[in-house]
Structure 1
Amino acid sequence: MPRLPSTFSLGILIMSLKLLIALVLTVLAGTLVALAGSQGGATAGSMPVFLICGILAFGVNWLAFIPANAAKTEKFYDLTGSFTYLMLMIVACALSAPLDLRSGIIAVMVVVWALRLGSFLFLRIRADGGDQRFDAIKQSPARFFLVWTMQGIWVLLTSASALIIITNDTRLDLDIFAYTGIVLWLAGFLIEVVSDRQKRKFRKNPANKGRFISTGLWAWSRHPNYFGEILLWTGVTVASLPVLSGWQWVTIISPIFVALLIIRISGVPKLEAHAKRKWGAEQEYIDYVASVPVLIPRPPQS
């Protein structure tokens, strides 16, 4: 009689199956969004430019996974993400020329954001020596590969509205949607930059070792950098609204995806849980949580 699989072997099999399903669904979702965004857009030969960018979003991260997995390192993960944004903007602009003012401004905004955040995160992980989120993940090639694949769809979905503006055959003068989107982006970018710098400066002070930040923008929100991130991508989507048609409307998922991932999955929940474990018994932290909103900023209460 054939031997029944042990509980351990069955657990490994179920985990592998879950990883495979997650991988397939991630790539499928990215493919569908890329195809939807390609409608009515520029082409390079017979290939839609938006679709080319979708392929690049995954391809760049899959290539970067190879040396990262061999070295079991996550140090270039964020840098690769920023490079992917830059690559998509360069390819989209090069293959969709001539650009109008809306397209040029949006492309520059994404490039500036990617350069700033990528360098910030790379310097942070270099200073910290690593990212504890990857400690267990990078030991499993399958899980590590899924993480790099998730970064591919993260880049594609967040930049979807920008890609629509750049690759779309419809060219419009700047209007109320463009101006509103630019203002929202500038506000979100400023909030993200200032809050990141405030937290970095706080951590560099030896007197704050092991403490939580509750000053500056962090007295208005427990996660002001995440609020800025959601706001700036919302701005890009608002700027894209007048040029959307047909299946292109799928790309308004961009800020929704960012907000969902930050609020419900990988951002706020993990940091809140970590903070609760570390400071949850301290009255100062209890008062901070009770008086400061988790995301949307509010002036400090007197």
Structure 2
Amino acid sequence: MQGFLVLLAVALVASACGFKRYVWFISIGYGAAVAAIGVALLAMFGARAGVASALQALLLVVYGCRLTGYLAYRELRSRSYNQKMKGEVKGNDSVTLGVRFAIWGSAALLYACQTSPVLFRMAAGGRTDAFLLVGLAVSVFGLALETAADIQKNAAKRRNPRRFVDTGLFRIVRCPNYLGEMLFWTGTFVSGIGVYAGIAQWLAALLGYVGIIYVMFGGARRLEIRQNCSYGKDPAYQRYVRTTPILLPFVPLYSVEKYAWLVA
């Protein structure tokens, strides 16, 4: 319990940048919190964690730093992105202080739960088993997939800023970056399966995993709505969305727009 409270405190501090701009609680602050938690875990357990467990914590640092850098560049330097988001995101003044505190606390709790499998593994001595090795491999693959998708999207948008992206990984699913993130956290959850002790640890790990999957589907829905507004009259886009799954490869789920409960 004490270790989990440390993760929560670290997440609260690292994501507090959201008080400057509330969306940063769930964007820049998200990446910063995950990276800071990874550093905290390495500092707390050090060499006692075992090589594979230390690598899992190091992956959190790499993941968080990459995400924070990407989002910070996009939000602070990309004029086109900010113009697109003006109509979608409320201004800071329209969000009360009480709501900001609620977002801050709930987001930090989610980040602590997402990373808790790494804590539970390290606290149990960091022993290496099949669950840890498989989880580590899935997380590495997810991080590589998400990174590649972001690079491909940026390159495609530089070539043709006005066209939707349907090349590279975007031929497989329409949101390969979100798929990569889901795989990263699937690996994190799997890595702790061999050491979860008691209902509290299972609940924390499941809350974090289910929570981030829900957020990713909600993000895919927001993106779909935005792209439908931008490209919906383009016949090529219409063919693309009819034939390319939105998030899960080989699963014929082509739209989540109608699922209004996916609010994230």
Q: Same fold (TM over 0.5)?
A: yes
2:248 maps to 1:248: no
Partner Cα distance (2:140, 2:36) in 1: 22
Per the alignment, residue 288 of structure 1 pairs with 240
**In the TM superposition, what whole-angstrom CA distance separates every residue of 1:225-279 from its partner, at most 9, and x where no partner exists?**
101100111011111111111021111333221111111x3x0111111111222
Normalization by structure 2: what TM-score? 0.82
Per the alignment, residue 96 of structure 1 pairs with 45
Change beyond 3 A, Cα 1:241–1:82 = same
1:1-302 alignment runs, 5 A limit: 38=1, 48-62=2-16, 64-66=17-19, 68=20, 78-97=27-46, 98-129=48-79, 130=82, 131-132=85-86, 135-142=89-96, 143-166=99-122, 168-172=123-127, 174-205=128-159, 208-246=160-198, 247-250=200-203, 251-263=205-217, 265=218, 267-298=219-250
Deviates more, 1:176-185 or 1:248-257: 248-257
Larger radius of gyration between Structure 1 and Structure 2: 1
Cα RMSD (Å): 2.5
Partner Cα distance (1:293, 1:256) in 2: 21
**In the TM superposition, what whole-angstrom CA distance separates every residue of 1:75-131 from its partner, at most 9, and x where no partner exists?**
797333322222222223323342222320111111111111111111122221445
Partner Cα distance (1:75, 1:245) in 2: 33
Deviates more, 1:118-127 or 1:104-113: 118-127
Partner Cα distance (2:87, 2:124) in 1: 42
Contact 2:18–2:24 (Cα < 8 Å) also in 1: no
Contact 2:37–2:60 (Cα < 8 Å) also in 1: no
Deviates more, 1:134-143 or 1:250-259: 134-143
**In the TM superposition, what whole-angstrom CA distance separates every residue of 1:159-188 from its partner, at most 9, and x where no partner exists?**
22222223x23442x221122112211221
Contact 2:175–2:246 (Cα < 8 Å) also in 1: yes
1:298 shift after superposition:
4.4
SS in 2 for 1:53: helix
Contact 1:161–1:254 (Cα < 8 Å) also in 2: no
* Letter matched to residue 297 of structure 1: P
* Letter matched to residue 125 of structure 1: E
1:282 shift after superposition:
2.0
Contact 1:76–1:122 (Cα < 8 Å) also in 2: no
Contact 1:74–1:134 (Cα < 8 Å) also in 2: no
SS in 2 for 1:244: coil
In the alignment of these two chains, the number of paired residues is 242
Gaps of 5+ in 1: 1-37, 39-47
Partner Cα distance (2:101, 2:91) in 1: 9
SS in 1 for 2:49: coil
**In the TM superposition, what whole-angstrom CA distance separates every residue of 1:41-94 from its partner, at most 9, and x where no partner exists?**
xxxxxxx121122133224434x344x15xxx8679733332222222222332
* Letter matched to residue 76 of structure 2: R
SS in 1 for 2:190: helix
Partner Cα distance (1:76, 1:125) in 2: 13
Partner Cα distance (1:105, 1:233) in 2: 15
